[in-house]
């Protein structure tokens, strides 16, 4: 769900309008969700998430929750049973707060990391009508697409980030997801990396603020939650030896880690630093077949295999032969995976691996 090169267009006038806006962030999040209830032109059969009988966005969310969301929450309670509190790390995530928050519903902090800049919140009251309509249309399209797929495509994330009209970056999506999951969005602030102390810290909002990384402060069930979206290059080029960014990754990867639809990046030779940080640090790793190679999984601890796996999606060149062999050897003894996850949708191909660090 990531790539190495992404074009960021700086929109000073738009950032200035954000600085002047006084809209409550939760009201904005609710407004975004409202865009998902608009009726999309066209539509498909009554069984499709795009059916005209119900607004396409609402039907898409219901479809997702029925086929993935509810089964995922039930599965996580039984097979992951995470302890309350703590931090969870989700590299190559895009704005997919939905998946990680349902696997770890009581975490105190979520750290999502991707190469696409987060962007500022979008306040439609400060925008020309043509741009408002472009944003609404793009938001509805991406909301429906996530409901159907359950993940974000890199090509879409890059296109959205680079659009000078639609302006659908990750921040509005994160805000809408949080509100749809029952969180209240208390605040949204840009973050910048302090190379001295190795932490991402809030920065003042001004016309020149870049909004690469953001922090959402959320609340739900009388609990305060922090959601950090970190814009970072996770390749070795971005995590140079002894750099503050590499130290940050090594420390962050000592928390439970989720990998999903990661485009088979970690096994590549230019992701050695991020791969080593997870292998050496993660106390718990949940992934699909696009994450670590099976040999690296075994370095962490005993691997539990869920679902079925006979080969990678045809879009990718990586073959994961050791993982194929592990599933073949396990045969029917693998644990069931009662929901579609990541790129593989059919019941005979979807897979997940869970490994906890050996003492």
Q: Which residue, 313, 327, 334, 317, is CA-closest to 151?
A: 313
181 compared with 20, residue with greater pLDDT: 181
Read off the tokens for 219. 């609340």
β-partners of residue 188 are: 216
Neighbour-count burial of 206, counting CB atoms closer than 10 A to its CB (0-12 exposed, 13-18 middle, 19+ buried): exposed
Distance CA 213, CA 116 (A): 9
Distance CA 206, CA 15 (A): 8
pLDDT above 70 covers what percent of the chain? 78
Q: How confident is the model at residue 157 (pLDDT cuts 50, 70, 90)?
A: low
Q: How confident is the model at residue 170 (pLDDT cuts 50, 70, 90)?
A: confident
Q: How confident is the model at residue 59 (pLDDT cuts 50, 70, 90)?
A: confident
* Rounded-to-10 torsion of CA 172, 157, 318, 238: -80
> How far is CA 226 from its chain centroid?
15
Q: Is the dihedral of CA 356, 271, 260, 34 positive or negative?
A: positive
Distance CA 191, CA 215 (A): 7
State yes or no: pLDDT of 155 exceeds 80.
Answer: no
Most confident of 91-95, 167-171, 222-226, 312-316: 222-226
pLDDT at 63: 83
Q: What is the pLDDT of residues 267-311, one digit of tens each?
A: 999 999 999 999 999 999 999 988 999 999 999 999 999 998 876
5 compared with 182, residue with greater pLDDT: 182
Distance CA 308, CA 302 (A): 18
Mean pLDDT of 328-344: 84
The total number of residues shown for the chain amounts to 359
343 compared with 69, residue with greater pLDDT: 69
Read off the tokens for 189. 């602030």
Instruction: Give the count of beta carbons closer than 10 Å to the beta carbon of residue 251.
Output: 14
Mean pLDDT of 244-262: 95
């Amino acid at each position: 769900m990531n790539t190495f090169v992404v074009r960021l267009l700086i929109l000073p006038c738009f950032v200035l309008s954000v600085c002047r806006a006084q809209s409550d962030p939760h009201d904005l999040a609710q407004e975004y969700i409202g865009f998902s209830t608009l009726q999309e032109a066209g539509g498909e059969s009554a069984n499709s998430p795009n059916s005209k009988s119900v607004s396409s966005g609402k039907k898409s969310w219901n479809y997702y929750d029925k086929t993935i969301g509810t089964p995922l929450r039930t599965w996580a309670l039984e097979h992951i049973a995470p302890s309350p509190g703590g931090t969870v790390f989700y590299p190559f995530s895009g704005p997919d707060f939905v998946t990680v928050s349902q696997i770890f519903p009581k975490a105190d902090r979520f750290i999502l990391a991707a190469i696409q800049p987060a962007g500022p919140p979008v306040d439609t009251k400060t925008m020309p009508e043509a741009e408002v309509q472009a944003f609404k249309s793009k938001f509805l399209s991406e909301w429906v697409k996530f409901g159907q797929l359950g993940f974000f495509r890199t090509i879409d994330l890059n296109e959205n980030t680079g659009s000078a009209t639609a302006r659908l970056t990750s921040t509005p999506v994160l805000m809408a997801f949080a509100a749809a999951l029952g969180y209240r969005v208390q605040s949204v602030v840009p973050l910048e990396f302090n190379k001295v102390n190795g932490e991402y810290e809030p920065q003042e909002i001004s016309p020149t603020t870049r909004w690469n990384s953001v922090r959402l402060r959320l609340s739900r069930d009388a609990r305060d939650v922090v959601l950090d979206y970190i814009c970072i290059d996770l390749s070795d080029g971005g995590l140079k030896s002894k750099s503050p960014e590499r130290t940050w990754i090594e420390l962050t990867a000592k928390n439970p880690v989720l990998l999903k639809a990661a485009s088979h990046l970690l096994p590549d030779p230019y992701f050695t630093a991020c791969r080593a940080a997870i292998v050496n640090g993660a106390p718990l790793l949940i992934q699909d077949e696009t994450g670590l190679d099976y040999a690296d999984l075994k370095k962490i601890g005993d691997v539990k295999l869920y679902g079925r796996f006979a080969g990678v999606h045809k879009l990718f060149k990586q073959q994961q032969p050791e993982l194929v062999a592990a599933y073949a050897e396990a045969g029917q003894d693998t644990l069931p995976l009662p929901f579609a996850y990541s790129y593989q949708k059919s019941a005979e191909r979807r897979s997940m691996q869970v490994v906890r660090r050996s003492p």
